Amino acid sequence: MPGQPLLEVRDLSKRFAMRGGREPSPWIIQDLSFSVADGEFLTIIGPSGAGKTTLLNVIAQIDTASGGEVRYQSEVAPLGDAKALNPGLSCRIGYVTQEDNLLPWRTTIENVLFPLNVQRRLNPETRARAEMLIRTVGLAGFEHHYPHELSGGMRKRASLIRTLAYDPPIILMDEPFGALDAQTRLHLQEDLLRLWNLGRKTIVFVTHDIAEAIALGDRTLVLSRTPSRIAGEHVITIPRPRDIRGLMSHPEFGATYERIRAQVQ
Amino acid sequence: MAILGDERKSARVALWSSRAAARLRARGDQIVVLLVLIAIWQTLSMTLGAYWVGSPWGVLTRFTAGILDGELLRNASYTAAEAALGFLLGALPAAALPFALRRLPIATAILDPFMVGGYGAPKLALAPLFILWFGIGIESKIALVAVTVFFIVYFSALAGVRALDARLVRMAQVVGASERDVARHIVFPGAVPYIFTGLRIAMPYSIGGAVIAELISANRGLGYLVQLGAMNFDTTGIFVALVATTLIVFLGNWSVNAAERRLLRWRPPADLTVETGT
Amino acid sequence: MTVHDSALDLPQGGPIKWRRHAVTAGRVALAVALVLAWKIGADVAGPLYIADPLKVLQRIVDDTLSGSLVRHTYVTLRLATIGFALGCLFGIALPFLLRRLPRLTNAVEPYIMASVGIPKYALVPLFILWFGIDDAPKLWLVGLLVFYPVFIAVFAGIRNVDRALINMARVVGASEATIAREVIWNSLLPFFFAALKIALPRAVSAAIIGEFLVGNEGLGYLIEHSRQNFDTTGVFEGIVVATALVLVINAVLVAVDRRYSAWRPTDRQMEL
């Protein structure tokens, strides 16, 4: 991956303000540093409560940082002042959250087109791309259904392609497949890799599932318990395209899994 | 296995048919009650005299005559128009105000005791004042209805604006929505169910308000017909006007429910509200 | 769905005290502005349409001292109270009675619910025809307007009583009357109080409106009679006193409710 990293996190620290003037609250993240190269699929593993969502919230500019900095394409993002926050960094950072956050009063296609709408980028070309995405993840025929008429897995898919539809250069994903059953999760992992292959976007994917992190990522970072910092970095040498279903029988999988598992407390 | 399946199936059929039978029996009972009520009415009318209670047949014929010659419909539409126009005049600003003040929480906080006071105060007591100001015509009724409806819908709309899901707002901000986009696509649709609750509660008050004002002073409308009947000792006329008024209330309820069903198709089912009636 | 008050996100920066003072100052300013608007309106529109606030105040004082205002208020309150008691009585008794006759209840229920749609105020001329021009028609009006919310609340409350509790009581040998008293009544108490909060102010309001149509005493009579004589000051006087009365009753109810609801587990669903 040539050139400088797309996203750089340096000595990032975060704790939440305590109300009522009691002792300061514990650090959620402390002196956390890593970088992400352009076109890289980075996975981050951490146990529950390790501040994974907090980390992504800060990067996505939804939350302030208490220290350190985040650079996007060498441009320092404003992090200390809540008023100066720029969620999504002007649509350059996409964010697929744990909850699907679909608008309940809009149909599937309206939800998928929602970002393009508010960005005033809706035209025949972008619309065709959105429709292609809908077909790719198997939601064809459900374009005019409301979220409450869709299953959990379908809502997740819709939420996923909503972000893909407007094509931000970097996409953060917060355990997007966590609440789904194993079969659906497998399907969605395959769909995600297939879509990623089409455009080689930069993705930062957070999960607590080691197998998922290995299956999807070019590189995996291990997060320690709070106060979280990077406990380790593992390059995934399994070549692409990957067969997710048969991944566990790949010769390199076992060793990689063990290495990572040892580091995750 | 097959035998068990058959047993289960026949048990299910028996349960279903016993439930259906119970429902059928209830329906039958209800029809019986209706007939009994009409019979009691008829008996009272024969013993006490139609002068005091009217008679079922008399009311039916007078009602039909009133529709055929247009008089009943004319007065009914007059009352309905007062209620509808007043309803719109009160509900629209009431629904809009919490949105307009959304970014100024101080303004809402300052207004709060005045709104609570307005909500608690007996608006219908203003009827004579509005009649003094606007006279015997339609304006006084519209004003009364508007004031009554305003406070009800305001609090419902306020609750709707407050029940904002912050996660949806954050999602919209991340994908680049402006403040106006957020208001249009998230705040407003989220508040609509609450506003409809307010509309549903306010609807009977709108007709009630129109009727009260007509009872005090009017020369048209269903309330006027009731007073006319009372002044002429024409009980049948009173009953006809009462039936017409009740029908209008049902019509109003139906309209609000139909509009809600259309606009809120996106809602997951199972939403119960208990209302206390006028 | 998270209930998040982000729409009321208070401005960051600046201590909480500052905000509270600003709000209080704003409310006082608004109140003063409204009274000023009233005065200006009276000067502009003339005494026929808007009575001068000071004259209204004067009239209230005069009528209080002479006792006529006290008399009117007393009459209205007495009407409201008796009607309220009657409405509560039937509103509570009827559901308990119906409880023992489930078949009758099912048969009668749709008609009761349909009768909710009849605007009760429209019945007053009929009541006048039937019961004369004394208190009776007004008592019927107040009674009916109180009956419905109480009846519906108690009826729904009885329906929602935990079957397990009733069964337990039966198993340990409680009589039907004891079950009604201990289990059912206590379970529906929150619903009942919620309905009372609506019904009590409504009773006063209904008394006033009844007095618009019949009678020669009471706050409603004061308002309407003044209107007929084009005595706008009297109209305003009646409205101000009536409004103050209902607002005071509301405030007392809220205070009592707050004091006695401390023991109740907070359940938003209870609020009708």
Q: What is the pLDDT of residues B158-183, one digit of tens each?
A: 999 998 888 999 999 999 999 899 99
For helices A152-165 and A108-118, angle between their N-to-C axes, nearest 10 degrees: 20
pLDDT at C239: 95
Least Cα separation, residue C193 to chain B (angstroms):
13
ipTM for this model: 0.84
Give the pLDDT confidence of A198-208 residue by residue, as tens digits. Answer: 877 899 999 98
What the block records as the tokens of A118 is 């508010």
Over residues C22-64, the pLDDT tens digits come to 899 999 999 999 999 999 999 998 889 999 999 999 999 999 9
Q: What's the pLDDT score for residue C264?
A: 57
- pLDDT for res C96: 87
How far apart are the C-alpha atoms of A205 and A228, rounded to whole Å?
17
**In the block, residue with structure tokens 């207004």:** B111
- Residues of chain C numbered 191-220 and touching chain B (CB < 8 Å): 195, 198, 201, 204-205, 208-209, 212-213, 219-220
Enumerate the residues of chain B whose CB falls inside 8 A of the CB of residue A115.
175-176
Cα B22 from Cα B25, distance rounded (Å): 5
Q: B250 and C242: CB-CB below 8 Å? A: no
Q: Are C99 and B232 in contact (CB under 8 A)?
A: no
Q: Domain B56-263 falls in which CATH fold?
A: MetI-like fold (1.10.3720)
Neighbouring CB atoms inside 10 A of B52's CB total: 13
A196 within 8 A of A228, measured Cβ to Cβ: no
Q: Which residues of B touch A161 (CB under 8 A)?
A: none
Q: Is the pLDDT of residue C262 over 70?
A: no
In chain B, positions 34-53, which contact chain A (CB-CB < 8 Å)? none
Is the per-residue pLDDT at B50 higher than 60?
Answer: yes
Token representation of residue A154: 């379908």
C118/B242 Cβ within 8 A: yes
Which residues of chain B neighbour A97 with C-beta distances below 8 Å? 167, 171
Mean pLDDT in residue range B1-7: 60
Show residues of chain A in contact with B181, CB under 8 Å: 118
Q: B119-134 pLDDT, tens per residue?
A: 999 999 999 999 999 9
pLDDT tens digits along C201-260:
999 999 999 999 999 999 999 999 999 999 999 999 999 999 999 999 999 988 888 877
Set of chain B residues whose Cβ sits within 8 Å of the Cβ of A91: 175-176
pLDDT band for position B15 (cuts 50, 70, 90):
low
- Please judge whether C49 and B226 are an interchain contact, meaning their C-beta atoms are less than 8 angstroms apart: no
CA distance B127 to chain A (A): 40
Give CA–CA dist C130/C55, Å, rounded.
Answer: 40
**Residue A60 touches partner B, C-beta closer than 8 Å:** yes
C118 and chain B in contact, CB less than 8 A? yes
Does the distance separating the beta carbons of A146 and B266 come in below 8 Å? yes
Strand partners, A174: A206
Is residue B255's pLDDT more than 70?
yes
Q: Are C125 and B215 in contact (CB under 8 A)?
A: yes
**Are the Cβ atoms of B128 and C212 closer than 8 angstroms?**
yes
Rounded to an integer, the average pLDDT of B47-67 is 89
Per-residue CA distances from C111 to B169, B254, C89, C123, C129 (Å):
46, 17, 20, 17, 24
Q: Which residue has the higher pLDDT, C113 or B91?
A: B91
The answer as to CATH 3.40.50.300 being correct for domain A7-92+168-263 is: yes
What pTM value is reported for the model? 0.83
Give me the residue spans of the domains in chain A: 7-92+168-263, 101-167
**Which positions of chain A have pLDDT values less than 50?**
1
- Is C119 in Cβ contact with B207 (below 8 Å)? yes
CB within 8 Å: B33 and C107: yes
- Whether the Cβ atoms of residue B253 and residue B277 lie closer than 8 Å to each other: no
Q: Determine the distance in angstroms separating the CA of B266 from the nearest CA of chain A, rounded to an integer.
A: 5
SS3 A202: strand
Closest-CA distance, B73 to chain C, in angstroms, reads: 18
Pair B80, B248: CB distance under 8 Å: yes
Please tell me if residue B125 touches chain C, with a CB cutoff of 8 Å: yes
Chain Cα centroid distance, residue B98: 22
**Alpha-carbon distance A114 to A94, whole Å?**
13
Q: List CB contacts (< 8 A) between A60 and chain B.
A: 174
pLDDT over 60 (residue B1): no
Chains that touch C (3 or more CB pairs under 8 A): B
Residue B6 is predicted with a pLDDT of 67
Mean pLDDT of the C186-200 span: 85
Determine the residue of chain A that is closest to B266 in CA distance: A105
Of residues A184 and C80, more confidence is placed in C80
Cβ of residue B172 closer than 8 Å to a chain A Cβ: yes
Cross-chain Cβ contact A105/B190 below 8 Å: yes
State how far Cα B261 lies from the chain centre.
15
Instruction: Tally B–C CB contacts below 8 A.
Output: 190
Residue C139 confidence (pLDDT): 96
Q: pLDDT-derived band of residue B276, with 50, 70 and 90 as boundaries?
A: very low
Domain ranges, ordered by start, for chain B: 2-47, 56-263
Q: Which of A64, A86, A89, A101 to mutate to test the interface with B (most CBs of B within 10 A)?
A: A101
Query: Between A and B, how many residue pairs show a Cβ–Cβ distance under 8 A?
Result: 62
Mutation target for B interface from C20, C44, C126: give the one with most B CBs within 10 A.
C126
Contacts of A53 in chain B (CB under 8 A): none
Q: In what order do the strands lie in the sheet with A7-14?
A: A29-36, A7-14, A67-72, A75-76
pLDDT(B228) > 90: yes
Interface of C with B in 139-158 (CB under 8 A): 145, 148-149, 152-153, 156
